[in-house]
C-alpha cells in the first residue's frame, strides 16, 4: 500500500470516480493514487463526512451504489427511519453501512489519526490496491456564493438541490491547509508518470484541491505530464451542476472553456469527439469520453495513459 504511485488522479465524486476506476483497472496494482477533493466534507449529526473520498473508495472497492452514484450497494435504511421518528435531521441520507464509515472515521479523527492515514487504512481493509487520499488533512470547506447568500456546500448541493444562482466560490480554511503528505510525496517522486485531472466539476471538485497552497505548483512542476479530461460533452455536463454553473458564471459551456480554466497547468487535454478540438496549441486527444459501461471506463483510462505517455516530451 505504501508504494509510490505511478499515476496520480485528481478527483471529485461521481464523474471522477468513474475514470479513477478505469485507471485502477488499467494500471498494475499499487500504481494509482487518487487525491480527492475534501471541500465537500462537512460535519453532520456530529459525524465527519467526506463524500468524495467515500465515493471513490466505494467505487474502487466495488461496493458503490450503481444507481445513485453515491453511497453503498445493497444498503439498508433502518437508521434513517429511526432517526426520523426521533425528530433528527434527515435531509442528508445516510445508509446503515455507509454510516459505519463516518462513525469510524470520526472516532479515529478524534483519537488524533490523520484523515489521509484513515483513508489509506480503509482502502486496505476493503481490499483496494490503490491509495485513496484527501487533498489535505486539514479542513477546507467549499462555500457557494449565490443570489441567496453564501451557502456551505452541502446546503447548496443537497438541501437546495443546486437551485440558487451561483456567483462564485470560496474555500474556507484553504489558506491554512497543507497538502496531505502522501499526495505531496507522490507529486515529488521520480516514479510519477502522469497526473490525471478527472472529468469532475472544475469549480467545486478540482478548484478546492488547487486552492491548497503549494498543490497547484507541485502539480505543474511534478515533471510528468498533466492531463485533464473534460467534464463537458457537447455543451452539457454528464451529471451534476457543471454546465449550469458555467452558464451562471458567464463562461461558455464548452470543453475548451474547461481547458482554459486550467490554463498554465496542463500538458494535454482530452475532450469528446463531438466537441471542437483546438484549445490554443495545447496537445489534445479527441475521443469518445462518455463512460456508460464498465468497459468504457477502462478504455478511456488506457487512452488517457497512452496520450500522457505520448506527450511526456512536452513537459516543462
Note the residues at the interface with a second copy (CB under 8 A).
45-47, 72, 75-76, 78-83, 85-88, 95-101, 103-104, 106-107, 110, 121-122, 125-126
Other beta carbons less than 10 A from residue 260's beta carbon: 16
Q: Write phi, then psi, for 154 (nearest 5 degrees).
A: -70, -30
CA gyration radius, the chain: 19
Shortest distance in whole angstroms from residue 84 CB to a second copy: 8
Shortest distance in whole angstroms from residue 265 CB to a second copy: 35
Shortest distance in whole angstroms from residue 45 CB to a second copy: 5
Q: Which is nearer to a second copy, 29 or 82 (CB)?
A: 82
Q: Which is nearer to a second copy, 20 or 118 (CB)?
A: 118
183 and 137 Cβ atoms separated by less than 8 Å: no
Q: Which is nearer to a second copy, 101 or 142 (CB)?
A: 101
Shortest distance in whole angstroms from residue 2 CB to a second copy: 17
Shortest distance in whole angstroms from residue 277 CB to a second copy: 45
Q: Which is nearer to a second copy, 72 or 131 (CB)?
A: 72
Phi and psi based region of residue 107 (left: phi greater than 0; alpha: psi -120 to 50; beta: remaining): alpha
Q: Which is nearer to a second copy, 79 or 247 (CB)?
A: 79
Place of cell 506527450: 311
Distance, CA of 162 to CA of 165 (rounded, Å): 8
DSSP letters spanning 152-203: EHHIIIIISTT-SPEEEEEEETGGG--B-HHHHHHHH-TT--EEEE-SS-II
- Return all residues near 117 (Cβ < 8 A) that are at least 6 apart: none
Q: Which is nearer to a second copy, 54 or 207 (CB)?
A: 54
Amino acid at each position: 500500500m505504501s508504494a509510490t504511485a505511478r499515476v496520480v488522479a485528481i478527483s471529485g465524486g461521481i464523474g471522477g470516480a468513474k475514470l479513477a476506476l478505469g485507471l485502477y483497472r488499467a494500471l498494475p496494482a499499487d500504481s494509482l493514487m487518487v487525491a480527492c477533493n475534501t471541500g465537500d466534507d462537512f460535519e453532520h449529526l456530529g459525524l465527519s463526512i467526506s463524500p468524495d473520498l467515500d465515493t471513490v473508495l466505494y467505487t474502487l472497492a466495488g461496493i458503490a451504489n450503481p444507481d445513485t452514484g453515491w453511497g453503498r450497494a445493497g444498503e439498508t435504511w433502518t437508521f434513517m427511519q429511526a432517526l426520523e421518528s426521533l425528530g433528527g435531521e434527515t435531509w442528508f441520507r445516510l445508509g446503515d453501512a455507509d454510516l459505519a464509515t463516518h462513525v469510524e472515521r470520526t472516532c479515529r479523527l478524534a483519537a488524533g489519526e490523520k484523515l489521509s492515514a484513515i483513508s489509506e487504512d480503509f482502502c486496505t481493509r476493503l481490499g483496494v490496491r490503490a491509495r485513496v487520499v484527501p487533498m489535505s488533512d486539514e479542513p477546507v470547506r467549499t462555500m457557494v456564493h449565490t443570489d441567496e447568500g453564501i451557502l456551505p456546500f452541502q446546503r447548496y448541493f443537497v438541501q437546495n438541490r443546486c437551485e440558487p444562482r451561483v456567483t462564485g466560490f470560496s474555500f474556507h480554511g484553504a489558506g491554512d491547509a497543507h497538502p496531505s503528505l502522501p499526495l505531496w510525496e507522490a507529486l515529488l517522486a521520480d516514479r510519477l508518470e502522469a497526473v490525471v485531472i478527472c472529468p469532475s466539476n472544475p469549480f467545486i471538485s478540482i478548484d478546492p484541491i488547487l486552492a491548497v497552497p503549494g498543490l497547484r505548483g507541485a502539480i505543474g512542476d511534478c515533471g510528468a505530464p498533466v492531463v485533464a479530461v473534460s467534464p463537458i460533452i457537447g455543451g452539457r455536463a454528464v451529471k451534476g451542476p457543471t454546465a449550469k454553473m458555467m452558464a451562471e458564471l458567464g463562461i461558455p459551456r464548452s470543453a475548451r472553456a474547461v481547458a482554459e480554466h486550467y490554463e498554465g497547468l496542463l500538458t494535454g487535454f482530452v475532450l469528446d469527439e463531438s466537441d471542437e478540438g483546438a484549445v490554443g496549441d495545447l496537445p489534445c486527444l479527441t475521443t469518445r469520453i462518455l463512460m456508460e459501461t464498465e468497459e468504457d471506463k477502462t478504455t478511456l483510462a488506457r487512452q488517457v495513459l497512452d496520450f500522457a505517455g505520448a506527450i511526456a516530451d512536452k513537459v516543462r
